[in-house]
Amino acid sequence: MSAEADSRKIRLLMTLRRAGISDPATLRAIEKTPRDVFVTRGFEDQAYDDRALPIECGQTISQPYIVAMMTEALELHDRAKVLEIGTGSGYQAAILSHIARRVYTIERYRTLMAEAERRFKHLKLTNIVTDVGDGGKGWPAQAPFDRIIVTAAAPGHPEALLDQLRDDGGIMVAPVGAGEVQTLIKYKKDAGEIVETKLTGVRFVPLREGIARGG
């Protein structure tokens, strides 16, 4: 990475700290992950701005603050088996891969997944397992998951995913709502009981059913 990108990244980390991100593992993972590799060509100079950017297929790479906040909310540990819905650019999965044991990530656009896989390979992130499919259905063959992160907006509580969350100490973070602004909800499962906490308002692209056609 260039010295220029490096100093931009340091500035981004300062912005995130000021905004209240304090989990050392999350900050370290952001430090280790070159966001410029994950943005669309032509946007590299904005890669370390704290803002969402457009990616292929009309989707977006989330704002770094939201990525950091959701990562922190997951309370990850190095033995965690994590499921991510909505691979997009692969940036969030890359962040998770530095903290968790294994990351399973699902995307409905083949084009996006091909690019994300290329980035994982380039960065030698070998603990990320990918699948092109409808993430709303989760990944039953690999369930249960210690942690689940949904990075596209679900219209209502994602029941199929909650079912695949570990009964004892499982945590899921998901934007929920059908409107342009959704509520980020943290679900905690203990002894099979789910307790939810509303975190903040967010803007995610919608979770859509099925595999994308032509993509």
Positions annotated as catalytic residues are: 62
Which residues, numbered 86-125, are part of the site for ligand SAH (CB under 6 A)? 86, 88-89, 91-92, 106-109, 112
Choose among 82, 70, 18, 76: nearest CA to 183: 70
Calpha distance 164→82 (Å, rounded): 11
- Tell whether residue 127 is a contact of ligand SAH (CB under 6 A): no
Whole-number CA gyration radius for the chain: 16
Judged by beta carbon, residue 188 or residue 208, the one nearer ligand SAH is 208
Instruction: Examine residue 205 and tell whether it contacts ligand SAH (CB under 6 A).
Output: yes
- Looking at beta carbons only, is 26 or 89 nearer to ligand SAH? 89
Rounded to a whole number of angstroms, the minimum distance from the CB of residue 126 to ligand SAH is 18
Cα separation of 8 and 43, whole Å? 14
Count the helices and strands in the chain (H runs, E runs).
6, 9
Q: How many Å apart are CA 211 and CA 53, to the nearest integer?
A: 23
Stretch that binds ligand SAH, among 17-25, 59-67, 179-187, 194-202 (CB under 6 A): 59-67
| Least distance in angstroms from the C-beta of 136 to ligand SAH | 4
Figure out which of the listed residues 62, 71, 97, 182 binds ligand SAH, where binding follows CB under 6 A. Answer: 62
Q: How far apart are CA 72 and CA 55, in angstroms?
A: 24
> If binding is defined by CB under 6 A, does position 151 make contact with ligand SAH?
yes
Q: How many residues bind ligand SAH (CB under 6 A)?
A: 23
The token pair that represents 131 in the structure block: 């699948």
Question: Of 161 and 171, which has the nearer Cβ to ligand SAH?
Answer: 161
Closest CA to 89 of 127, 28, 130: 130
Q: Which residues pair with 165 in a beta bridge?
A: 145
Name the site residues for ligand SAH (rule: CB under 6 A): 59-62, 85-86, 88-89, 91-92, 106-109, 112, 134-136, 151-152, 205, 207-208
